[in-house]
Amino acid sequence: MIRELPALLIPGATIEVLKASCASCSMHQLCLPMGLDNNDMERLDEIIGRRRKVARGATLFRIGDSFQNLYAIRLGHFKTYQVNRAGAEQITGFQMAGELLGMDAISADQHHCSAIALEDSEVCEIPFGTLQQLLGEMPTLLRHFHRMMSQEITREQSVMLLLGNMQATQRFAAFLVNLSSRYEARGYSPNTFQLRMSREEIGNYLGLTIESISRLLSKFKKEGLVRVSNREIELLNPPLLKAITAGTETCA
C-alpha cells in the first residue's frame, strides 16, 4: 500500500500543498468516516487547523492544560501517561497514525493525561468548539465520532482487564497481538513491525518490570514465537500468540 509522502519532501511543494487536507491524507479512512460527500469533506477540511510537527520526546499537551483541540495523528507514534499518587508516571496508552488524541479532556475542559511523541510525528489540530458545530450538522460525522469515543472506552476497559486478570505471559502476548492488528488496519505488515516504545515503557504500561519484559522476549524467542532484531520484531506464530492471550494455550 503506497503511503502519501510528506509535502516537505515533494519538490516544488507550495503552501497549498502543505495545508491539511483530509481527502488526500492516507490516514483519513481511519480517523474520519467513510461516506462523506465532497461538500462535507470540504467543510471538514475548513475547520482543520495547522499540521503540527512534534519532535521525538516533545510534549503535545500536559496534564492540567486547558482543552482547545483534538489531535488526529497523521504520522508517528505517541504515548500518554498519568501521574499516580506517588508522583510516578503511569503509561495509559500508545497511539499511532489514524487515532485521535485529546478526548480525555472533553468532560472537564482540561487534560487528565500528558502526550509525548515517541518519534518525530505530525498531528492535525481540530478545534473542538468548531467541530461541535459541525457534528450537529453532519449526522454521519457525529455517528463516527461516537464510534471513536466508544472504541476509546473499550480500549481502556481492555487495559483494565489486561492488568487485573492476566498473567505476565498473557499480558505481553496481548500487547503484541494488539499492535499487530492495529498495524494491519493501517495497511502495514501485521507480523513485522518496529517497537517505537522502549522495553521500560512497555513494562510500565503492562505493570511489569523491564527485567520481566526482557525475560518474556527471551522466552518468546526460545519458543519460536517471535524473532527480534534491535527494535524490529517479527511474529512467527500469530495463532499461538492469540491463543496465549485468550488463555487457551500456554507458553512452554
pTM: 0.82
Helix (H, G, I), strand (E, B) or coil at 72: strand
Assign domain 166-246 one CATH number from 3.30.1330.10, 1.10.357.10, 1.10.10.10, 2.130.10.10: 1.10.10.10
Rounded Cα gap, residues 201 and 92, in angstroms: 10
- CATH 1.10.10.10 residue window(s) in the chain: 166-246
Three-state secondary structure readout of 16-71: HHHCCCCCCCCCHHHHCCCCCCHHHHHHHHHHCCCEEEECCCCEEECCCCECCEEE
Q: What pLDDT score was predicted for residue 43?
A: 77
The pLDDT tens digits for 118-142 are 999 999 898 998 888 888 888 888 8
Rounded Cα gap, residues 60 and 57, in angstroms: 10
Instruction: Note the CATH number of domain 7-162.
Output: 2.60.120.10
- Give me the sheet containing 121-127, strands edge to edge: 51-54, 121-127, 69-75, 100-101
- CATH 2.60.120.10 residue window(s) in the chain: 7-162
Rounded Cα gap, residues 130 and 135, in angstroms: 9
Rounded Cα gap, residues 110 and 237, in angstroms: 43
50 band by pLDDT with thresholds 50, 70 and 90: confident
The pLDDT tens digits for 195-244 are 999 999 999 999 999 999 999 999 999 999 999 998 999 999 999 999 99
Rounded Cα gap, residues 222 and 173, in angstroms: 14
Q: Which residue has the higher pLDDT, 180 or 98?
A: 180
14 band by pLDDT with thresholds 50, 70 and 90: very low
Q: What is the DSSP string of 215-247?
A: HHHHHHHHTTSEEEETTEEEES-HHHHHHHHHT
Residue 101 has pLDDT above 70, yes or no: yes
156 band by pLDDT with thresholds 50, 70 and 90: confident
84 band by pLDDT with thresholds 50, 70 and 90: confident
